[in-house]
Amino acid sequence: MTEVEDENYRKLGFPYLKRAFTKPSDIFSTLLLLGPDIIKSAVAQQSGIKLGICALPISFSFGCVSYSLLLLTSVIGDQKLMPASPDFPCVVINSQSGHSRNNSSWILGRLMRDFPDWMDESMKLWANTPTLCVGIYEPKAEPNQGMPVPDWIAFSGLVAIVCQLLLTVGPILLYSDWTVLLITVMGNLLVWLTILLPAWSNEKWVCRKNTTQSFIITRGNGGQHAIVILGNGKGLNLEDLASAHKPVGSKTRWSVFLLALLQVVLLVMCASANEGNGSRFLLAIGAVGMGQNILVAAYPRDPSALGIHLEYKAHFVKENTFATILEVEKNYPGIGNTMVSTFFPSGLRDESEAQLREVQDSRNG
């Protein structure tokens, strides 16, 4: 680099780089348009979780404006608030009819994804075995199915919001700048109002209750785990939950439109704060919010936090998949037989078919 080039770099390049870190409001307003997928997952996880009658919030963070526009597109096009497809694929099998269907429920997808974390301790000894491991669970009578129980992650939004508000004290004391407080309060209020929409709960748990049918949740052929939820007249109809869709009403669509419009106003406010001395605090506030959103979106949750309350009954794991299914059939008639078509789509070998028939005949006769 020549002396002239070096001088130009110091005059033109470095001051702009320094400004980006000392007054990063331009960056902050840009970041508000990035990363909607994290917020989409966080809102899908947090929605419907209440303390009393009040929905627990997530915190304002980067990507809020972009997410509000994404949500508006969803309610107009797909007519739903929840993501169009879960982030973890699985199938739900009705043990009575034998019908299986691809899951489109966010709740069931997360239930299957987080199973290695919430499974009974006795099952974790077999968690890394290459063969099929089947867990048997039964719905509890209390708490009510479809009513999530808040865990510590559900309260993390309140903690993050308090931290964000504490950060707003800095620009007030140092520069008498109240803009950061206004943006933080408005941002958190808009996110909370989004989660408050009653259509979230209506859409998230749209299914019949108190079912007597048993269901199997698994990733399908080659899956390492299968969750059997017995029908005892207390649980949710998971077949409904896997495929049911309740379109949002016009009131919800207009509410989402208004919230998206206010998010754009918030973006303009952030851009207009370009010359403010508190812009670095805004960046820190956004980082706190993004960290909390990532926690909510990604951290494994107990089924109770998803509104499905289960009691562990038993588990089965043998030397191979068919041996496990055969053991399930011996102890829970009909359930093992229902799993055969999923895990052996080409059918059983003659000797395996004979073993399964022998178990069924011994039970019938």
Encode pLDDT of 315-364 as tens digits.
999 989 999 999 999 999 999 999 999 999 888 888 888 888 888 878 76
Note whether residue 114 is domain-resident.
Answer: yes
* Residue 357 within any structural domain of the chain: no
* Cβ contacts of 241 within 8 Å, gap of 6 or more: 92, 105, 107, 108, 205, 206, 207
Q: How sure is the predictor about 52, in pLDDT bands with cuts at 50, 70 and 90?
A: confident
* Domain-located, residue 152: yes
What mean pLDDT, rounded, does the chain reach?
87
In sequence order, the β-bridge partners of residue 93 are: 100, 216
Q: Which string of DSSP letters, residue by residue, matches 214-283?
A: -EEEE--TT-SEEEEE---SSEE-HHHHHH------HHHHHHHHHHHHHHHHHHHHHHHGGG-TTHHHHH
Which has more pLDDT, 71 or 269? 71
Domain count, the chain: 1
Instruction: Specify if 15 maps to a domain.
Output: no
Question: Is residue 67 situated within a structural domain?
Answer: yes
Q: How far apart are CA 193 and CA 199, in angstroms?
A: 12
Residue 3 in domain = no
Give the pLDDT band of residue 245 (cuts 50, 70, 90).
Answer: confident
Tell me what the mean pLDDT of segment 42-59 comes to.
92
Residue 9 has pLDDT above 50, yes or no: no
Answer whether residue 323 is part of any domain. no
Give the model's pLDDT for residue 6: 53
- Tens digits of per-residue pLDDT, 254-277? 999 999 999 999 888 877 665 567
The pTM (predicted TM-score) of the whole model is 0.87
The verdict on residue 157 lying in a domain is: yes
Confidence check: pLDDT of 5 > 80 = no
Could you list the residue range(s) of the whole structural domain that residue 78 is in? 23-317
More confident residue, 199 or 17: 199
